[in-house]
Every structure is written in structure tokens, then in C-alpha cells.
Amino acid sequence: MSEFIPVFEPKLNGNEKKYLMQCIDSGWIGANGPFVKKLEDEFSLFCSQKYGSCVSSASGGLDITLRALKDLYKWEDFSEVIIPSFNIISSAQSCIYNKLKPVFVDAEDRTWNIDINKIEEVITKKTRAIILVHIYGLPCDINPILDIAKKYNLKVIEDAAQAHGQTYYNKKCGSFSDISVFSFFTNKHIASGEGGIILTSNEEILDKVNYYKNLCFTKDKFIHNDLGWNYRMTNLQAAVAYAQFEKVGETIKTKIELGSKYQELLKNIPAHLSCHKTEYAQNHYWIFGVVLNNDVKFDSKYVQNKLAQANIETRPFFYPIHKQPVLQKMGILDNIKRPVSENLYEKGFYIPMGLTLTDSKLEYISDKIKDLFRKS
Ligand SMILES: *Cc1c(COP(=O)(O)O)cnc(C)c1O
């Protein structure tokens, strides 16, 4: 029996401690500190965008991104925004908070990203935007989506929360649209506990998101014309994120190595593994996913329980947004099936991908998974 193997462990062995001490020694712990500015300037440059705006989370970042776009481009209430159904709740939630209607498109089998062939069929006169999401470390097929956006005059927002430093045909994710959002949550490729950043090359959008994230303060301090949120990120978080940013290349290299090893170790199990590579990108393995084949007699819950008994932590895949009870309760769901997302949830799970995993642990995990199929 192995010691407990968590699904993720961050590696804080760079300048994190040094930069945090600089915050404390200088007294700059709040939102206007030098690391916030450095991160905004340098991370935007890294992603070929003009401006950055640090926020307290990517979810908050999406809230104010949609609010800014709705405002600037005068979208009516209940305008429609296309999002992948196989995704975290954040994008749908941000639509709803802004009185916009999320419209869900199924995933495709090979990459688990949005199925580009099913986008046009959901476009209506009310569609105003599409949110590109790069699922689990592999970019979606961006160019055809940009073509559709152009044809129907849709705004594009990139949710690159799982794709720091990732590229699509050698161009950085987060650079493909007017506005992109990254997360610095603990398990992301750049981690500060909580936090995120909005990137844009449009000054009007920048001004709007800075306004909304900061309680809609105006130059006349304490006089407010609108209500916003406090979505500011602290200098303490930015210090850690900046240190993590300095070694994001190393993090990605480690992730690709771990993912490649799993591919080799698990290649013969009756399951579909995370897609290693496409024509346009190498998977950066934000997570390593396993989707059981249809002829396997058990589901992902069974495997997760068995692995838990062997001290191996796993996580389920995203629950399809178009089936979320909260959205059902709000009466904003249709009855359309998105079979690929639904199958991914039933048959999919992900296995440990911490940055400190050793070869012997990888082998232990892979052996335990292979055992399950031997016995059945
Ligand atoms: C993590 C994640 C988010 C949410 O990020 P937070 O910073 O935790 O709010 C949003 N979208 C995707 C695709 C994510 O992976």
C-alpha cells in the first residue's frame, strides 16, 4: 500500500518565498502592489495582448468580462452566449449573473473540447458571443470557430484557465480574441492559491473591467454611478503567481513528461486516454483523463472507489452544464441531449498529476488501474 497520492500538488520551489517576504518587508500586501503590476505587464506581453488586469479568480474575471462586453456593445438582456456543455460552471454562471442566456454545445470524442461542427446550428438572431474553452490542457480548434464568429459577427472570449503557455499552431492561447481570462487557482499551471487575470488589447474593455472589479469607484472617491464587485487580487497572491510564471515553462515540461509516461503505461487498457497531440497542439496535461470504453462493465464511480482504497485520489470529470440541477431549477434548460458530454461524465475520471509525482508512484497508480481490468 502506498502513502496517499493526491490528485494534485503544487511545487513552490522557486522565488515564491522571496517575493512574499518582499511584500511583507515593504508593506505592499494589497491590490495595488508592484507584483500585481509586473504580472499584468509581463503576462500580457507573454500572451501577445496589450493589457492585463489581475482579478481574485477566473470566475470573477468572467463575470466582469461579460458585463463589460454587454455594456460596451449594448447587448440586450437574454442575448445568447455559446459555451461548451463539458466545462466547469463558471462560464454559465457568469452569463446568468449578467442576464445573458448560456447556450450549450456538446463536446467531441477525441479531444473533449467543443464540437466545432455543432456550433452553427445553435446560432440565432440573439447570439452575441462564444466562449472558447481549452479543456484539460488541450486547445480547442480555434481557427474554424473564429471563422464562424466572423461570419455571424460574434464576440469571442477565451477562457484559458487551463492553458497557460499553451499554443495553437504555435500562437499563444489567450491571444486569439479581444479578451481572455486565466485562473491562478492552486492546481493551475500558474498558481497563487486563488486569483486570475484578464487580458485584452482593447483599452475600453480594460477600463470597464478595472471599473467593475473595483466597486465602480470613480475619480470622485465614494461617489458611485454603478454597482460592481470587489474582485481585486492582492500583491501577496501576485507575488506567488509571478514566481510561478517565471517557471511556467518548467511546469509544462514536467506535465508533458508525466502525461507521456501515463500514455505509455496505460496504453493497453480498454479506455480512451487524454488526447496526446493534435495537428495544432501538444497536450499540456492540466490533468490526465481516462474514459472507459463502452464495453467495460463498470463506470467511473466504481474505478474511483477502488483507487481510493489503494490510497489514490481521483476526480470525476465535469458534470455537463446542460444537466446542472441549479439551471434546471431556474428553468433555463432545454431537453436536448449532448451525448458526448454525458458519456464523458459517466465514464471519465482523472488521476494524480501532481508536479512532485515520482516514476514509482506513476507505476503504482498505473498498475492499480490495470488490475481492475484483469479482475473483471
Ligand atoms: C479553474 C477554471 C475556472 C475557474 O477558475 P477560478 O479561478 O477557480 O475561478 C474557469 N474556467 C476553467 C476552464 C477552469 O479550469
Q: Model's pTM, two decimal places?
A: 0.97
Which residues are paired to 107 by β-bridges? 114
Separation between Cα atoms, residue 118 and residue 79, nearest integer Å: 19
Q: How many angstroms does the Cα of residue 276 sit away from the middle of ligand 1? A: 22
The verdict on 199 and 338 lying in the same domain is no
Domain that holds residue 329: 248-375
Compute the distance between CA of residue 208 and CA of residue 74 in angstroms, rounded to an integer: 13
Q: What is the pLDDT of residues 213-262, one digit of tens each?
A: 999 999 888 999 999 999 999 999 999 999 999 999 999 999 999 999 99
Question: pLDDT grade, residue 127 (50/70/90)?
Answer: very high
Residues, the chain, total? 376
* Residue 264 pLDDT grade (very low, low, confident, very high; cuts 50, 70, 90): very high
Cα dihedral sign for 156, 76, 115, 86?
Answer: positive
User: Residue 40 sits in a domain of what CATH number?
Assistant: 3.40.640.10
Place 1 in a pLDDT band, splitting at 50, 70 and 90: low
All three cell numbers of 237, joined, read: 497572491
pLDDT of residue 32: 87
State residue 375's pLDDT score.
Answer: 61
Q: Looking at residue 312, which CATH number applies to its domain?
A: 3.90.1150.10
pLDDT tens digits, residue range 167-202? 999 999 999 998 999 999 999 999 999 999 999 999
Q: Are residues 227 and 267 in the same domain?
A: no
Q: How far apart are CA 55 and CA 324, in angstroms?
A: 26
Mean pLDDT estimate for the chain: 96
| pLDDT for residue 376 is more than 80 | no
Give the pLDDT of residue 2: 76
Contacts 24+ apart (CB under 8 A), 261-267: 261/359, 261/362, 262/288, 262/351, 262/362, 262/366, 265/362, 265/363, 265/366, 266/290, 266/366, 266/369, 266/370
Whether residue 4 lies inside any domain: the answer is no
For 336-369, the pLDDT digits (tens) are: 899 999 999 999 999 999 999 999 999 999 999 9
State whether 280 and 184 are in the same domain: no
58's enclosing H/E stretch is helix 58-72
Domain co-membership, 43 together with 168: yes
159 lines ligand 1 (CB under 6 A): yes
Dist. CA 194–CA 196, nearest whole Å: 7
Residue whose CB lies within 8 A of the most ligand 1 atoms, among 54, 63, 66, 90, for a mutation test: 90
- Residues 131, 198 within the same domain: yes
Q: Is 233 in the pocket of ligand 1 (CB under 6 A)?
A: no
